[in-house]
Amino acid sequence: MSEGSISEVRRRAPSVLVRGIRWRLMGSLLVVLTAAIAVGTAIVGPLFLRAGGDSLVRQAVAAAGAADTSFALGPARTGAARLDGLAAEWRSLFRSGQLTRLYGRPVVQTMLTDVHFTSMNGHAYATRLTYRTGICSILHFSAGGCRTGLREAVISKRTARRLGISVGSTITVNDIEGEHPVPIRITGVFDLPNLHNAYWFGDPGPYFAFGKSTGKPFFLDEVDDMFVASPAAFALTSAYVRSLTIESGLRPGVLGIGDASAVLHHILALKRRAADAGFLVETGLPALLSGPVHQQSLMDTIVVVAALQLVLLAIWVLTSALARSADLRRAELRIARLRGFPLPTLLAVSITEPAALCAIGAVLGIVGAWGVVLVAASILFTPGTAVGLDT
C-alpha cells in the first residue's frame, strides 16, 4: 500500500470508527440527564437566592420613597458656600460614573433663608424665602406670575388669603433676630401644587408648612414659603443666613442586589470625601441597603453548602454513568484497535462522546434552572426582579 493510501486511511479513520460504534440511546440519555441535574442543582440555589436578594432591594427602595433614596449635597456649615461652589463639588462627586448611573435629572438646586414678618393685623409669622431650580414651571398661578426682579416673590393662595394680600402687595421681612427689614414685592399667587410630584423628592412638607408652629424659642405661626425665580432675586444682606442644597432622585429600577454592596461602600466613601472638602452628603440609601446586603451575605454561605452536597451527589452519579458507558465501549474500541485504528483516534473518539453528552446536559441544566427560577420569581418576588448570577 502506498504512503498516500495509508494517509487517506488515517484521515478517514475517525469517521469510519464513529459509524462503526453502536449507538446506545438509554445510556446517552442517562449521561445527558445526569449532567443536566449536576449543573442545574449547582446554579438553581444561587440563582434563586440572587433573585430573592434582588427582590428585597427593589422592595426596600420602593417602600422607602424618594425622600430616603435621593442624594443631597450641602455645605457642612450653613452659609459656608455659594451655589456655584456647591455645583462644582457635585460635578466632582458625579465624575465616578456610579452616581451618574443611579441618579439623574431632575437635579434641583435650592437656596433658602428663614424670615419673620408681621401682617397688617399685627400678627407675627415665620416663613422662608426660597429659590428652587424650575420652581416657576411647577407652580400654577391664579393671579400674576414669576418675575426675575430683585426682591420679588410669589406666595400660595392660602397664604395670601390669611395675610389679606394680593399681587402687587409688599411684605417687609426681617431676619430671625427681627432686624434688617427688607421689602418683598408679591408678583404672583399660586394654587397649592401637586405635592406628590417627583420634583419635591417625597418631602414637600418643609416648603408648605402652613398652619404649623416654629416651636421654641419664638413659637410663631408658619405660612407657606415665598418662592423667587432666581438666586439673584434674594438681594439680602449677610444677616440673612442662607441654606444651600443640590439634590437628585434615584432612577427607577436601576438598583439591584448585584451592585448593592458596591453602591453602599461607594456612597460611604463619597460621604467621607465630601466631609473632608467641607460638604455634607445626605442620603438614606446606605441604611436601606445594609439590611439586604447583610442578609444576602448570610444566605450565600448556606446556599453554597447545600448546593455543594447536591453537586457532589450528581457528580458521583455522572461518574458512574460515564464509567458504565466506557465499559460498554471497551469491547468495541479493543476491536477497532486490533483492526489497526491509531491510538490517538481511539482516544479522541472515546473522549468526544461523553464530552459532547455532558456539554448538552450542562446547557439543558442551565436553561432549566434559569427557567424554574424565572417562573418562581414572577410568582413570589417583586415585579421587575432580575434573574441571573450577576443581578
What does the pLDDT look like over 375-385, one tens digit per residue? 888 888 877 78
pLDDT digits (tens, 9 = 90+) for 171-220: 999 988 888 999 999 999 999 999 988 899 888 999 999 999 988 777 89
Q: State how far the Cα of 110 lies from the Cα of 103, in Å rounded to an integer.
A: 17
Lowest mean pLDDT among 136-140, 176-180, 246-250: 176-180
Lowest mean pLDDT among 25-34, 189-198, 344-353, 360-369: 344-353
Alpha helix positions (H), 193-282: 257-276
Can you give the pLDDT at residue 217?
78
Taking CA atoms, 270 is separated from 30, 90, 93, 276, in Å, by: 55, 11, 7, 10
Percent of the chain with pLDDT over 90: 24
pLDDT digits (tens, 9 = 90+) for 258-303: 778 888 888 888 899 999 988 999 998 888 888 888 877 777 777 6
Q: Which pLDDT band, with edges at 50, 70 and 90, does 226 fall under? A: very high
Can you give the pLDDT at residue 349?
65
Q: State how far the Cα of 127 lies from the Cα of 124, in Å rounded to an integer.
A: 10
pLDDT for residue 34 is more than 70:
yes
Q: Which pLDDT band, with edges at 50, 70 and 90, does 145 fall under? A: very high
Can you give the pLDDT at residue 6?
42
**Quick one: CA dihedral 33, 37, 39, 40, positive or negative?**
positive
Residues 6 or more apart whose Cβ sits within 8 Å of residue 18: 349
pLDDT for residue 30 is more than 80:
no
Residues 6 or more apart whose Cβ sits within 8 Å of residue 62: 382
pLDDT for residue 144 is more than 90:
yes
Can you give the pLDDT at residue 227?
95
Can you give the pLDDT at residue 232?
81
User: Residue 119 carries which side chain, given as an amino acid letter?
Assistant: S
pTM of the predicted protein model: 0.70
Pick the closest to residue 287 from 99, 63, 55 (CA basis): 63
Q: State how far the Cα of 6 lies from the Cα of 12, in Å rounded to an integer.
A: 10
